[in-house]
Structure 1
Amino acid sequence: MAWGVGANDVANAMGTSVGSKALTIKQAIIVAAIFEFAGAFLAGGQVTSTIRKGMLDANLLSGQPELLIYGMLASLLAAGIWLLVASRAGWPVSTTHSIVGAIVGFAAVGVGIDAVQWGKVGKIAMSWVISPAIAGIIGFWLYISVQRLILNTSEPLKNAKIYVPFYIFLVGFVIALVTMFKGLKHVGLELSTTQNYIIAAVIGFIAMLIGIFAIRRLHFDPEADKDFHFTNVEKIFGVLMMFTACAMAFAHGSNDVANAVGPLAAVVSIVESGGAVAQKSAMPVWILLLGGTGIIIGLITYGHKVIATVGTGITQLTPSRGFAATLAAAVTVVVASGTGLPISTTHTLVGGVLGVGLARGMDALNMNVVRTIFLSWIVTLPAGAILSILFFFTLKGMFS
């Protein structure tokens, strides 16, 4: 399962950096591996929701702990296999939806329809449409603003020195919020929402001051042609995009990777407690290490396929376009965290890239790739469910 997470979800976070040529694939894999592993191990949390986001009623399973063990193992196998199939094909699918489909499948058929909290499942299904739509709208207008304020002007470099500091503030502000809301929520920092926003604003302001100082120190030949100025402006956006991508990788590692290995934590908890079924359980360090190692292996082996789809398959990216797409995804994560909306990081990132492509017109999008991605999203939940049901009854038949 962790292998599949690394090959698919992690690759998404770095797709824009590679597609815009801000990083090579090798560099992106190294950077993603460092930040994902750090997020999973340092901020992955000591307690995890063993029954994914409260989707199952633990009370219905208290008398049959072995069913939960079979179900969680079946879910890991099903979601992991589907993620590897999708990654090999280069489809950016959702880890969240893969494991959700798998758990719903075994619970509905193996335990009973009432065992599934269908309201929770409905909210997650809504995120299929909502998260890419929000990210797409934000990415569209972000890139439009970059075009109108900087790129499509007679003096792009001069205007970059004026407006880029405001984008730097936005990057610092959003990165801080993503890290606090998603990346550090497990480490015991008891901060209110207001405190989080104040700290993020201060970090954004400091980043803006540093940016102003750094940009003023840049000296370019005013007699140079416009292409030379464009290249230097794009380099600035490339740096901003990489900072945002690293923050997304850390937040993803701390949040989604811990959730992905949650079913294993559930099995270990049941075995160690002698059969007690709990809604939450301790997350042993060795499981976080196992998850972190698995994502790195997945990223190295299959990650390049999904990176290619997100980075070059949907639309042609430059650093400024990649910046708009990545920041749009990060803003969507912040909005979702504040409102409690369950979202998929994968869908959000793809939505951001689509929005940036649309800002350049429909012709800028590769509709064949877009159709394939949407189809893979639709298939993910039922694929996870069907595989999980097969594995559940196989395990039950072998060990009951």
Structure 2
Amino acid sequence: MLVEYGSVFMILAVVLGLYMSWGIGANDVANAMGTSVGSGAISVKQAIIIAAIFEFSGAFLAGGHVTKTIRKSIIDPTPIMDQPEILVWGMLSALLAAALWLTFASWLGWPVSTTHSIIGAIVGFAVVGIGVDAVNWSKIGIIVLSWIVSPLVGGTLAYILMRSIQKFILDSDTPFLNAKRYAPVYVFLVGFLLSLVTLFKGLKHLDITFSVGQSFFAAVIFGVIVAVIVRFLINRLKMKEAESIHDQFTQIERIFGIMMIFTACAMAFAHGSNDVANGIGPMAAIVSIVESGGEMAQESNLPLWILLTGGVGIVLGLSTLGYRVMQTIGSKITELVPTRGFSAELAAAATVVIASRTGIPVSTTQIAVGAVMGVGLARGIGALDLRVVGGIFMSWVITLPVGALLSIFFFFFFRGVFL
């Protein structure tokens, strides 16, 4: 069968892989960029350029290149080792199911999780195609737990960061001077985290690995460099002392607007390293099975052209439908200005770094939503639109089952067509 339909499977894998990447761009990346756009720090066009460069760099440099095709040990394909076509149909079904759900959610402006869409879809086909026992249910339990833990961690960090900005800058007697004084410290954290996630995961494509000590040292140096650049940019902002307090706050937001360009890059990079492979993993699995004539390796190398396909799909998704999710994250949950957006984005990037180090399959989406909520809470519960928050939580809960049901339907469809 693989010999007979090999080229058809390859074409389907590329088309559906591209569609899935488009969904990641429209939903996941839009949500990673939403805080920067919503707070007015960057335009949608600039967000697309940043995403194109940094999402791809994150996936290429730090994306854990030997993508585990049998997604994150969620299923055990041993029972179907002599029937590789079942896994091919299953991965095609998973891609189509997850991509359709992402399209629907993006259209409604729901920031759902790509990671969980694809996991739900893979579980769905595994239950009917291989058997209930083929699913690693304890792993699914950990993922469900991460739905609660990751937004909480992101939200708590964002709340602490926002309160610190309020205390040291906004509520001080000399807010503008304090903003100039402390801004490099905050942006040092951005540079430090961005380089740490890269070094922790290892530059596998370049065959460079660092020890924990070396990683920290290099990250500190990179953080200092970024802080010096920001210091230089801020010093070019002219400010007369006599200006009113309102003008001072406007200038402070300008300073944080400059810093948010750096956090947007950090967030796109962290997202690229964490989530892009989730979307294109099944595509890599199909390509690997077809090219090897039916061999099911637990790991398969991720060819550069597959990463490029993912990168192209992501940019297309962000530029065509990404604005809807950007609106939800950037303005509907709570009103964002650069100081708040900066806190949310830095907290989200930090949480992704911590999670990628522990290997828990978290969702960047849920972390970002949690972080935006944390920033809103720093101004009091009234600053949050609880109706929007409720809708988002509901969309998270139904993502796994919807992905699973759609995948089951498509699995039987593909089996019917090719058998």
Task: Describe how 1:112-191 pairs up with structure 2 within 5 A.
Answer: 112-181=131-200, 184=203, 187-191=206-210
Other-structure match for 1:353 = 372
**How far, CA to CA, are the matches of 1:239 and 1:286 in structure 2?**
34
Show the counterpart of 2:265.
246
Q: CA deviation at 1:97?
A: 0.1
Is the 8 Å Cα contact of residues 166 and 208 (structure 1) preserved in structure 2?
yes
- Give the equivalent residue in structure 2 for 1:309: 328
Secondary structure, counterpart of 2:300 in structure 1: strand
Q: 1:36 aligns with which of 55, 68, 88?
A: 55
After the TM superposition, which of the residue ranges 200-209 and 386-395 deviates more from structure 2?
200-209
In the alignment, what sits opposite 2:23? 4
How far off is 1:43 after superposition? 5.5
> Could you tell which deviates more after superposition, 386-395 or 19-28?
19-28
Q: Distance in 2 between matches of 1:40 and 1:341?
A: 17
Does the CA-based 8 Å contact 2:58-2:273 persist in structure 1?
A: yes
1:329 to 339, 348, 352: 348
Distance 2:196 2:60 in 1: 20
Alignment match, 2:392? 373
Task: Give the C-alpha shift of residue 64 in structure 1.
Answer: 1.5
Between 1:76-85 and 1:209-218, the stretch displaced more is 209-218
Q: Is the 8 A contact 2:154 2:371 kept in 1?
A: yes
Helix, strand or coil at the partner of 1:191: coil
Task: Flag the 1:324–1:185 CA change in 2: closer, same or farther, 3 A.
Answer: farther
Secondary structure of the 1:279 match is coil
Q: Deviation per CA, 1:318-351, whole angstroms, max 9, x where unpaired?
A: 0000000000001111221233332111111111
1:68 aligns with 2:113: no
**Higher mean C-alpha deviation, range 360-369 or range 211-220:** 211-220
TM-score (norm. length: structure 2):
0.91
Q: Which residue of 1 aligns with 2:255?
A: 236
The runs of 5 or more residues in structure 1 that have no matched partner are: none
CA distance in 1, matches of 2:50, 2:383: 29
Give the C-alpha shift of residue 194 in structure 1.
Answer: 2.5
Asked whether the 8 Å contact 1:178–1:248 carries over to 2, the reply is: no
Shift of 1:204: 1.7
Find the counterpart in structure 2 of residue 205 from structure 1.
Answer: 224
Task: Give the corresponding residue for 1:100.
Answer: 119
1:76-128 CA deviation, whole Å, 9 max, x = no partner? 00000000000000000000000000001110122101111122222211111
Q: Which amino acid aligns with 2:51?
A: A
* Aligned match of 2:13: none
CA distances 1:260-299 after superposition (whole Å, capped 9, x unpaired): 1111111111111111111111222322222111111111
CA deviations on 1:15-66 (whole Å, 9 max, x unpaired) are 0111111112232223223322344456556532111111111322212111
How many residue pairs match? The answer is 400
Q: If the length of structure 1 is used for normalisation, what is the TM-score? A: 0.95
CA–CA distance in structure 2, aligned partners of residues 366 and 280 of structure 1 = 44
Deviation at 1:185, TM superposition (A): 5.2
Change (3 A) 1:339 1:286: closer
Give % identity.
Answer: 59
Supply the distance in 2 between the matched residues of 1:108 and 1:56 (Cα, whole angstroms).
9
The residue that corresponds to 1:265 in the other structure is 284
Q: CA deviation at 1:224?
A: 0.7
CA-to-aligned-CA distance 1:117-144 (integer Å, 9 cap, x gap) = 1222222111111110000000001000
C-alpha spacing 1:225/1:236, structure 2 compared with 1 (3 Å): same
Which residue, out of 64, 69, 81, partners 2:100? Answer: 81
The one-letter code of the counterpart of 1:249 is A
Which segment is superposed worse, 170-179 or 28-37? 28-37
Tell me whether 152-161 or 2-11 shows the greater mean CA deviation.
152-161
Q: 1:118 to 1:9 in 2, by over 3 A?
A: same
Q: Unpaired segments of 5 or more residues in structure 2? A: 1-19
Q: What is the one-letter code of the residue matched to 1:18?
A: V
8 Å CA contact retained: 1:184, 1:254: no
Distance in structure 1 (CA, Å) of the matches to 2:62 and 2:294: 28
Change over 3 Å in CA distance of 1:396–1:379 after alignment to 2: same
More displaced 10-residue stretch of structure 1: 249-258 or 148-157? 249-258
